[in-house]
Amino acid sequence: MKNGHNRSLVPGDGRQNKPVLLLISVFLYLATISPVLSAEPISIATVFSSAEYHLHSVTLQGIIKQIRPVAPHFGRLCRVQGSYTFTLEDSTGSIDVEVPGTCWPFSSATAVTEGEPIMLDALIHRFTRDGDGQRIVRAEAQKIW
């Protein structure tokens, strides 16, 4: 303290930056262990029973069935490769899951195996098909583990 005034923060003075760096480090660490911190899984029947899940992220778990590759297609900025869909089944029902591909031909999407038990975070999409009015509910995978 000089003349009764606090010293101003000087860029590069490590003492003032340590708390911020510590918080960033903790946040990044917690983000890498997301399966441990993810929400409790909900049943597939619950997702179908309530419109409140539309455009919300949920955690689901179940068994993978009917893996279907999606042909390469043009996205907004590139040719998307590696997309696939599968059906996720639990004891209450099943839901179609879409796994988006990437623009990079050598990057690999999360590989899954038929009959494998998994958990996933997914964005839920609910819509009604034109013509017959059938209600469609799909999940867009955000993270699979």
Domain assignment present for residue 121? The answer is yes
pLDDT in tens, 82-116: 899 999 999 999 999 999 988 876 655 557 899 99
Domain assignment present for residue 46? The answer is yes
Picking from 81, 80, 54, the residue whose alpha carbon sits closest to that of residue 140 is 54
Cβ-based neighbours of 81, under 8 Å, separated by 6 or more: 72, 101, 102, 103, 104, 105
Domain that residue 61 falls in = 40-144
Domain assignment present for residue 35? The answer is no
Read off the pLDDT band of 66 (50, 70, 90). very high
Domain assignment present for residue 3? The answer is no
Amino acid at 12: G
Task: Say which CATH number the domain at 112 has.
Answer: 2.40.50.140
The pTM assigned to this predicted structure is 0.70
Domain assignment present for residue 135? The answer is yes
